[in-house]
Structure 1
Amino acid sequence: MPSHHPVAGPRPSAGRRSPLRPASLSGANCTTEAGYSPRLPPYRIIEATCRGGRGREPMSVSREIVLTPEGKERLSAELAYLKNVALAEALERLRRAREQSPGDVGPGSESAAVLEAQTEVERLEARIAELESTLARAKVVAAPSTGTIGIGSRVTVRDEEGEQTFTLVTAAEANVLAGRISVDSPVGRAVLGRRSGETVEVKTPAGVRRLTIVRVE
């Protein structure tokens, strides 16, 4: 399923804190890597690399990607659907569009319908290649059983606006709207390695937020 990108809302006025929203949890407009490195300092509160900053570091094609068991199953199901259903349907739409296009098929003469269908085929093929690469490099890990927050942990945090629950995953699985927060996001970095009852600080565009970890599952 294609990744969803939350749309950033208006910037809060000075001195006013905005509610703890999915965008603030994920670090919207920030770049992340698909892989997770256990060498990242788990107890430092690190601001994510956002647009206008250092940018994304090059990633080796062979780099291992950590996935939860549920994440690997979800991505495998998406890959199967795209290859066996969605791509076949898109190719059929492209075939019909070409049959119905004018006889002149030289460069630049494609109809809007052909171009649209071709774009959809290319988009699906790119996503299929991305999923195949991710799954080929996947390392499946289960959530820690020690009470310490790690990949796969379901975490409930609270601030002055209330509570919110999310699952901590790598960027390959992250989907804010589905409640899956990247370990490379500001909140992900802050809570990684922590336990229930601890309070962490998170740097956001609106300022520093204090989150209390209520529950770890």
Structure 2
Amino acid sequence: MSGGPEPISAEGLRAVREELAQLRVERGEVAATLRGVDPVGDRADAADELQRASEVARLDRRIVELEARLREAEVAGEPSARVVGVGSTVNVRFDDGTEETVEISEIAEERDLTLVTFDSPLGKALLGRHAGETVNYDTPAGAASAVVLSVGADAGPQTG
């Protein structure tokens, strides 16, 4: 990403909030199993306690990451209507002439084939581009290119 505050798509925002809620529940459940200052039994008990404490720490780190991402998205506001960034809707024409409207996202959702992650080959090629520019990227089948037809509110199926 750009290193500055990045906007986030509505779908990405929903996914981050959902993951954050799930992690908070999971953290509460794992933390409730920690014994605290009570003496630990045998070595297996100590190892289990250490593993749960490590899991709580991992969950805490991810929660902090997601909370920071939500704050960053709020500061960044809406994606640009001129330059492709995370959260942008982009209409592209591929080498074979097909046109597709995609959304640049932080997350991959199996159910939504129009999401392109910012770190995918196409996503990386599109970031920072404007309408009219041609991008080149690699696919499993080899090199490919696409033309950015429109960005933002103007993106959508093109007629004509």
Shorter-chain TM-score: which interval?
A: 0.5 to 0.7
Q: Give the percent of matched residue pairs that are identical in Structure 1 and Structure 2.
A: 32
The aligned counterpart of 2:2 is 36
Q: Structure 2 residue aligned with 1:175, among 107, 110, 122? A: 107
Superimposed CA distance per residue, residues 102-129 of structure 1 (whole angstroms, 9 cap, x where no aligned partner):
723xxx6545643443332222111012
Structure 1 residues 75 and 127, CA gap change in structure 2 (3 angstroms): same
- Give the superposition deviation at 1:210: 1.9
User: Does the CA-based 8 Å contact 1:154-1:166 persist in structure 2?
Assistant: yes
Aligned residue pairs total 144
- Structure 1: which 5+ residue stretches go unaligned? 1-34, 38-63
CA distance in 2, matches of 1:78, 1:188: 23
Q: 1:36 to 1:103 in 2, by over 3 A?
A: same
Distance between the aligned counterparts of 1:143 and 1:137, measured in 2?
13
What letter is aligned with 2:41? G
Q: C-alpha root-mean-square deviation of aligned residues, in Å? A: 4.0
Q: Is the 8 A contact 1:66 1:140 kept in 2?
A: yes
Q: Which residue of 1 aligns with 2:52?
A: 117
Distance 1:151 1:109 in 2: 46
Unaligned runs of 5+ in 2: none
Using structure 1 for the length normalisation, give the TM-score. 0.48
Residues 163-211 of structure 1: CA distance to partner in whole angstroms, max 9, x if unpaired? 6653224xxxx123452411x5542343242327x54321457642122
Change (3 A) 1:194 1:134: same
Q: Find the counterpart in structure 2 of residue 140 from structure 1.
A: 76
Q: 1:129 to 1:212 in 2, by over 3 A?
A: same
Structure 1 residue 156: deviation in Å? 4.7
Summarize the Cα distance change of 1:89–1:132 in structure 2 as closer, same or farther, 3 Å threshold. Answer: same
Q: 1:66 to 1:155 in 2, by over 3 A?
A: same
Q: Which has the higher helix share?
A: 2
Higher relative contact order (CA 8 A, sep 6+): 1
State whether structure 2 residue 44 is matched by structure 1 residue 103: no
Aligned to 2:19: 78
1:14 is matched with which residue? none
